Amino acid sequence: MMFAFTNVLVRTPSRSVVHGLSSQSGPRPSFETIASEHAEYVAALEACGLAAEVLPPLESYPDSIFVEDPALVFSEAAILLRPGAPTRQGETKEIEGILRGRFCARSSYPGKASPTAAICS
């Protein structure tokens, strides 16, 4: 089954993005390069007919440009996730309000002390 996407959430890179997690050694990319590539990425999505909602940058979270990591989004629901890296822990809270504005919310499940939240329509 294929899903025809019509909307996309993206986040503007923050200046701190150059300090994000990396498994590569060597020089870090420049903010200007990342910002330019991100602008091209958004333009490509829009050229495909998608409506892009661009979220503001989050300086406190260098990897927050990767909005697909703190939430798994479907056409009728979203599941808030918990990124494993300590530097990414607050990203879920940042995107939660945006997703709650699009779906109804359920944030706990019986028997779970610290559940992953589900947001549904």
| Closest to 7 measured CA to CA, from 104, 83, 101, 84 | 101
d(C-alpha 78, C-alpha 73), whole Å: 4
pLDDT tens, 36-91? 999 999 999 999 999 999 999 999 999 999 998 888 888 788 888 888 899 998 99
Q: Is the pLDDT of residue 103 over 80?
A: no
Segment 11-36 mean pLDDT: 93
> What's the whole-number average pLDDT of the chain?
85
> In terms of DSSP H, where are the helices of the chain?
31-47, 91-100
Q: Is the pLDDT of residue 121 over 70?
A: no
Query: According to the model, what pLDDT value does residue 111 have?
Result: 46
* pTM for the whole structure: 0.80
